[in-house]
Structures are given as C-alpha cells and as structure tokens.
Copies of this chain bind each other. A is one copy, B any other.
Amino acid sequence: MQKSQVTIKHIAQELGIAISTVSRALQNHPRIGLKTKERVFEVAKRLNYVPNPAAILLKKNKTNTVGVVFPYLQEEFFSQAITGIEDVISAKGYNVVISQSKDKLERENRAIKSFISSRVDGVIASISAETTQYYPFKELENHGIPLVFFDRVPKDVAVNKVRGNILEAAFEATIFLAKKGFSRIAILNGPSNLEISNERLEGYWKALKSLNLPIVQQYIKSTDLTKDSTSKKMEELLLLPEKPQAILCFNDYVALFAMQSCRQNGVIPNTDIHFVSFANLPITAYLDNPPIASVEQFAYKMGEQAATLLLKILESNEESEIIPEEIIIDTELIIH
C-alpha cells in the first residue's frame, strides 16, 4: 500500500546487502548465491517492487517499446493488424504504443515526433492518405530508429515494407468480374501517393489487356478515401452514357460509400452494378447486398510479419548495415 516507489535500495537496506547484489539477484546473475537470491525475491515480492523503467532506460538506452502509427484504429483491417503486431511484440517482452493519424499528415507528424521524444526502439507505419513526402519519416532514420512500413508504403523509397500482393489481387479480381460476363469494369481507386493505389491500377490494366478489353479513362477514378469524395466519383460514374456494370473498389469503406451513393441514385448495388472490394471486413457480412467478392488480405498475418521483421532488425547487430527488406503477403479473392 506504500505510495512512494520501492527501489532496489530499499530491498538492499532491508536485507543489509549491497544494491548491486540485489540488482544481480533480480537478474538471476550466476555470481549471486542461491540463498541470497531467494531472500531478495522474497522481499521484492513482499514490498511489491516494480523496476523503474526510467533508470533502466537510462542505463541501457532501450525502451523495449515500438510505436505504431496507422490511419484509423476502427478499420478492422488495421485493428486486426495491430492485434497481430501486439501478439508478436509482447511475446518478446516489448510494448506497443499506438497512434492514429486519421489520414491527416499533421497527426502523423505529431505521432512521429512523440515516438522520437519517447525514444521508442522501432516504428511500424502505414502512411496517411495525405502523405506525399517521405521527409517526416526521415527524422526517425536520423535518430537511428528502425522503421517498417505496413500496407500503405511510400513509393520510390528503399525502406522495409510489408504489404499484400495487390497487383496480383487486382488482376484476379478484374478477371473474376470479366468472367462473370461484365465488360464495362470501372475502378474506384485510392489516392495516387499510395503505392498500393498504383498497384491496383496496374493489376486492373493488366487484366483488361490480357482480356483484350479496352481501357476506358472515364472508368478510372480515384478518391481521397473520404465519403464525400467517393460519392462524388461514384456519381460521375453513374452519369456516364454507358454506366459501368462492375466496379473494383479500393477497400470495403469505399465500396460502402459507393454503394450507398448508388442507392440514393436509384441504382441497386450488386444487382444493377456489381462491386468487388479489398479487405473483406466482417461488417460486409451484415449487409443485405454485400459486394459480390472481396480480396482477403490477411491483416493479422501481415501485422505479425511486420512485427517479426522489426524485431529482427532490432535484435540484429546494430553495427551491420541493414538492407531494406520487402515482404509480400499473398491475398485471396473471397466470393460472397
């Protein structure tokens, strides 16, 4: 019930031994005798001793903490990934601190600054929809903090990345729609600063080409992932003389927004216009007319992989120059 922190000094005093002996005893150091260790542990437990992380950090210069900054915690894709990260990280005795950027650059930068000043050992990040510059992340590098990008990775930068095989997934999804008999296939893509947007587009292109279908510029739209922007782009598609028969959406949220926009314009989603999306969120299971298919990206597994990669870097020899690694997780098209 003691409010003032119990330190190893108190334990040492109580037992009449040296502070260093207590420290080593608690670490199970071989140079400390068994009886001494036992006595130390007994007193430590009785006094409710908790090591002071500040003092340890000061000596070891290691926080055993990794920072995670993702756009939205409530997106099932990210929260599943966080669970994967947490499970791997905490099994190794590390802690996780989580921040959400809400797709805002400013919040993302704040999170990074906070990670630097709290001296996290490493960072896992999924960049915001607004992020076009790699610069803020460069700060982490300057402070020697390892960084692994997750899913939303920046383009043209040699960094550690863990992401799904989006190109392949978009290709398969497009082929799936074509095989269903649709020739007018549109794409409601994400912002072009995200590499994963470009990959979707490439997969979509490749599929159309392989099917000898024309690439129609009006069928290619990109949104900033907000509801407003998505509805607007969807309405543009609806106003075309030849409405698309099917639409490939950046993710389930974009699909939800677009489907709602359809309904408001008298078009019945997945009857008049068919949707396929990415992420395969559980909520789509509760819709009466869910997208006809969704690309499962295995967020939990992706999170595990990102955490494993980061830990590997953290536990590798600090000296050794690290070559950025890229891990690509296979996806699976789930037909509803």
Q: A residues near B, CB below 8 A?
A: 1, 3, 5, 48, 50-55, 57-58, 61, 63, 65, 72-76, 78-80, 82-83, 86, 90, 95, 97-98, 100, 102, 110, 114, 116-119, 142-144, 256, 259-260, 263, 283, 285-289
Contacts and interface: CB of A to CB of B under 8 A. Distances in A.
A88 to B, nearest CB: 14
Nearest to A110: B90
B143 A50 contact: yes
Nearest to A48: B142
Given A48-B142, A114-B95, A286-B287, A79 B73 contact: yes
Report which residue of A260, A263, A285, A288 has the largest number of chain B beta carbons within 10 angstroms of its beta carbon.
A288
A252 to B, nearest CB: 10
Number of copies: 2
Contacts of A57: 53-54
Contacts of A97: 95, 97-98
A58 B50 contact: no
Contacts of A82: 73, 100
A202 B137 CA distance: 52
19 contacts: A50-B116, A52-B58, A53-B54, A53-B118, A54-B54, A54-B63, A65-B118, A73-B74, A73-B79, A73-B82, A82-B100, A83-B100, A86-B100, A95-B118, A256-B283, A260-B286, A283-B286, A286-B287, A287-B288
